[in-house]
Structure formats: structure tokens, C-alpha cells
Amino acid sequence: MSEDNTRVLRKIIHIDMDAFYASVEQRDFPEYRGKPLVVGGKPDSRGVVATASYEARQYGIKSAMSCSKAYQLCPTAIFVYPRFDAYTSVSRSIREIFHRYTDIIEPLSLDEAYLDVTEDKLGIGSAIDIAKSIKDDIKNELNLTASAGVSINKFVAKIASDMNKPDGLTFIGPSKIKAFMEKLPVEKFFGIGKVTAARMKSMQIITGADLKKLSEAQLIAQFGKSGKFYYKVVRGIDERPVQSNRETKSVGAEDTLSEDTNDESVMHSLLHQISETVANRLEKHKLSGKTVTLKIKFEDFKQITRSRSFAFPINKAAQIYLEAIQLLKEADIGFKKVRLLGITLSRFYDDVAREKPESNQLEFEF
């Protein structure tokens, strides 16, 4: 076995904070503790649930559910608006804890991140022990709980972190991955949404073992380029690196109208406000995008998107607004009433495909 054709198995941790926004609220306001709490909007508003406490989840309340529906499920729930400044501050403190152990950190949002601890800064060695230490630090210093998944790649680590919530730690080692992936229901695969899962089930693809029966060519024929990804991950193969300075792929904003409408002037006014918000965010991150995407959600919750790309990037509110109203016009929604509008700018960077040679793996203790 040549040295060039071998590599050490990576040690990857996925940390996911438990009901993050709601947990911060319950930490900061003792009167919320032990009670069903919904972070989002007022129960009679058109807002949606950002996060629900575990007490609220027992009533069936979930993220992205309308606040009015959440209220129907649990009229005694406490509804509060998000305090994003507070969540951002806590997220920074969590990130500082991560940096004690590794600088190879890929944040996915305020409340979750991947960490590559193949070579940790403290010389601990065991990824399981590092995950335990991180969880303890978060609990002792921030009075919050996190769940951790530990494995040899990002895909398996992320699934593992969701297995024993809240305050869980799950390790799926190299020898266990094959059996684990074969038993996993397809809807539990990260990247397989409800629509794709339903389609797979109609094809009698219920678990990873069923998915594994299809060749790569068959999966690509059925699911496009995602088929290649499914073929690899069901075999426990995920070579994506933890990117410590992951590039921003898109910047956007959206807002719900106070009432469903097909009034063009009202929609234009909201698009103007959203364009200003997006432009400010682009300025903050020093970004310009070559693609504008307009999201339109109708009163029946069905949604469509319309996009336009340019040879040169844009980032000014006026440019974004003009393109958004043009896309709205071209969408030709007729008399349909609109519930929500959103604008996203993307294509900041050119994607570069990186081919990696196959290699054998050397195992070591986790």
C-alpha cells in the first residue's frame, strides 16, 4: 500500500443546539421555563414558528408552522418575538468554545456547525471525548444544551446528532456505518425532502438498503445529479471537507403581507422594502450577485420562484427592486392573491469541481 494512496479517517463532529431560540428565551426568562414556548410571532399574526420549546413540541408544534396553527394546537403556549441580537451573541460564545478544540469549523447557522477534530488543538485525540467536553462547556458556561454526532464524515455525523435529542451524543463508527445506513428510512437522509421521499416510497424505496439496490446510473436517471450523491452516501461515502471559511452561496430576505392581496402597488411597496434589506445585507458582507430570484407564496401556500441572471453582478437596492418587479410582472399571477414575497441574490462565486483520487483508509481510535 503506497503512502500516496492512503489517508487517515477523519474525525468529524456535528453540533446542533437544542431548540436554540426557545432555550435562550427560557434561560433568560425564568417564567418561561417548563412551559410551552413559541418563538415567532403573535398567535393571531401571519407569522411562522421559528423555534418551539420541547414542551410546545409535545403538542405537535413545529418550526415553519403558522403561529395561528400553533395556537390552535396549544392555546396555553407563550408566544414571543425572536431576539436575534441575543441569539447572535450566544452563537459567538459557542463558536469561541469550538475554537478551543479546533479552528476547522463550518457554521451552518447560528445553532449548528461541523467541526473537524482529526488533529485537535488540545491533543485530546478522541473525538467522542472532545464532543463531551464541548457539550459540557456549553452547559456549564452558557446554561444551554447541545446534541452531538460523531463519525468519519459530515453526512453521518449530522444524522447522528439528531438521534438522541435533546442533550444527546451519538457515535457511529466506521464498522457500524454500513448497517446503520441500510436500516435508515429514506426520509431521515439529510438532503431528501418530503417530495423526494414520497417519490422513493412510491418506487418501494423505503430504507437505505432499498436505495442501495439501484445502480448509480439508475439513481441519476430517476433523481438527476442528486442521484450521484445518494449513491455515495448510502454507502457511507462523503468526502466533503469541513470548510472553515465556507463561501456564502446566497443572501436574501422575505416578508409576509399583512393580508393576502393581488394589489400591485402593495406588492411593489413590500418588494421595495425587501430590496433595501437585501442590499444592506450584501453591503455588510461585501457581496454582489449575478442572479436575482423572486419568491412568491400564494394564499393557498403554494409557491413559485422566478430568476434572472446577468453578465455582471449587482448589489444596489434600486437595481434589485427593478429586477424584482419585472420578475413579478413576468410571473403573470393574474388574480391570485399573494401571501409572501422574497428576494434572493446568488452566484457570488464560480463553482469549481474538485476531483479527488480514490484512496484506502487507515483507521484509528475515536
Phi, psi of 28 (to 5 degrees): -80, -25
Band of residue 55 on the pLDDT scale cut at 50, 70, 90: very high
| Last-in-domain residue among 30, 62, 84 | 84
Over residues 88-142, the pLDDT tens digits come to: 899 999 999 999 999 999 988 889 999 999 999 999 999 999 999 999 999 999 9
Q: Can you give the pLDDT at residue 244?
A: 81
- Bigger pLDDT: 357 vs 171: 171
Indicate the SS3 state at residue 42: coil
pLDDT (mean) for 308-325:
86
pLDDT (mean) for 206-231:
93
Q: Can you give the pLDDT at residue 220?
A: 94
**Same domain flag for 337 and 282:** yes
Q: Is residue 362 one of the residues assigned to a domain?
A: no
- Bigger pLDDT: 209 vs 286: 209
Q: Can you give the pLDDT at residue 30?
A: 97
Band of residue 245 on the pLDDT scale cut at 50, 70, 90: low
Residue 223: pLDDT above 70?
A: yes
Band of residue 212 on the pLDDT scale cut at 50, 70, 90: very high
**Same domain flag for 14 and 150:** yes
Percent of the chain surpassing pLDDT 70: 92
Residue 213: pLDDT above 90?
A: yes
Q: Can you give the pLDDT at residue 349?
A: 54
Q: Which range has the worst mean pLDDT, 77-86, 116-125, 351-360? A: 351-360
Q: Can you give the pLDDT at residue 247?
A: 64
Distant-in-sequence, close-in-space partners of 191: CB < 8 Å, separation ≥ 6: 226, 229, 233
Range of the domain at 73: 20-84
Band of residue 84 on the pLDDT scale cut at 50, 70, 90: confident
Q: Can you give the pLDDT at residue 357?
A: 35
Domains held by the chain: number: 4
Q: Can you give the pLDDT at residue 280?
A: 86
Task: List the one residue out of 77, 16, 92, 20 whose CA is nearest residue 50.
Answer: 20
Residue 291: pLDDT above 90?
A: yes
**Same domain flag for 158 and 111:** yes
Q: Can you give the pLDDT at residue 305?
A: 95
Q: Is residue 155 one of the residues assigned to a domain?
A: yes
**Same domain flag for 192 and 256:** no
Residues 109 and 19: beta-carbon distance below 8 Å: no
| Last-in-domain residue among 175, 209, 229 | 175
List the catalytic residues: 112
* Residue ranges at the known binding site: 16, 111
Write down the pTM of the prediction.
0.71
Residues 347 and 328: beta-carbon distance below 8 Å: no
Domain CATH number, residue 278: 3.30.1490.100
Residue 361: pLDDT above 70?
A: no
pLDDT (mean) for 194-200:
88
Q: Can you give the pLDDT at residue 7?
A: 59
Residue 312: pLDDT above 80?
A: no
Q: Can you give the pLDDT at residue 246?
A: 62
Q: Is residue 1 one of the residues assigned to a domain?
A: no
First to last CA, the chain: 23
User: Which letter does DSSP use for residue 147 in this model?
Assistant: E
Q: Is residue 35 one of the residues assigned to a domain?
A: yes
Question: Order of strands, edge to edge, in the sheet holding 112-116?
Answer: 105-109, 112-116, 12-17, 146-151, 169-171
Residue 5: pLDDT above 60?
A: no
Cell representation of residue 271:
418588494
**Same domain flag for 24 and 134:** no
**Same domain flag for 136 and 60:** no
Q: Is residue 360 one of the residues assigned to a domain?
A: no
Residue 14: pLDDT above 90?
A: yes
- Bigger pLDDT: 243 vs 153: 153
| Last-in-domain residue among 242, 263, 292 | 242
If you write DSSP's letter for every residue of 92-111 in order, what string do you get? HHHHHHHHHH-S-EEEEETT
Which segments within the chain are labelled E, that is strand? 6-8, 12-17, 37-39, 51-52, 78-80, 105-109, 112-116, 146-151, 169-171, 250-261, 289-298, 303-314, 338-346, 360-362
Residues 345 and 251: beta-carbon distance below 8 Å: yes
* Residue ranges at the known binding site for Mg(2+): 16, 111
Q: Can you give the pLDDT at residue 363?
A: 42
Q: Can you give the pLDDT at residue 204?
A: 95
pLDDT (mean) for 348-362:
40
